Amino acid sequence: EVQLVETGGGLIQPGGSLRLSCAASGFAISNHHMTWVRQAPGKGLEWVSVTESGGRTYDADSVKGRFTISRDNSKNAVFLQMNSVRAEDTAVYYCARGDPWVLGHWGQGTLVTVSS
Partner 1 sequence: DIQMTQSPSTLSASVGDRVTITCRASQNINNWLAWFQQKPGKAPKLLIYQASTLEAGVPSRFSGSASGTEFTLTISSLQPDDFATYYCQQYDSYVWTFGQGTKVEVK
| Of 11-19, 45-53, 68-76, 77-85: span binding partner 1 (CB under 8 A) | 45-53
Could you tell me the smallest distance in angstroms from the CB atom of residue 47 to partner 1? 4
Question: In terms of Cα–Cα distance, which of 4, 100, 19 is closest to 54?
Answer: 100
The verdict on 107 binding partner 1 (CB under 8 A) reads: yes
CA atoms within 13 A on the CB side of 90: 13
| Of 11-19, 24-32, 66-74, 98-106: span binding partner 1 (CB under 8 A) | 98-106
Centroid of chain to Cα 88: 16
| Of 9-17, 22-30, 75-83, 99-107: span binding partner 1 (CB under 8 A) | 99-107
82: helix, strand or coil:
strand
Report the distance separating Cα 85 and Cα 107, nearest Å.
Answer: 22
From the list 32, 89, 94, 112, which residue makes contact with partner 1 (rule: CB under 8 A)?
94
Sign of the torsion formed by the C-alpha atoms of 21, 24, 28 and 32: negative
Binding to partner 1 (CB under 8 A) within 72-91 occurs at none
Which residues in this chain contact partner 1 in the complex, by CB under 8 A? 35, 37, 44-47, 50, 58, 60-61, 94, 101-104, 106-109
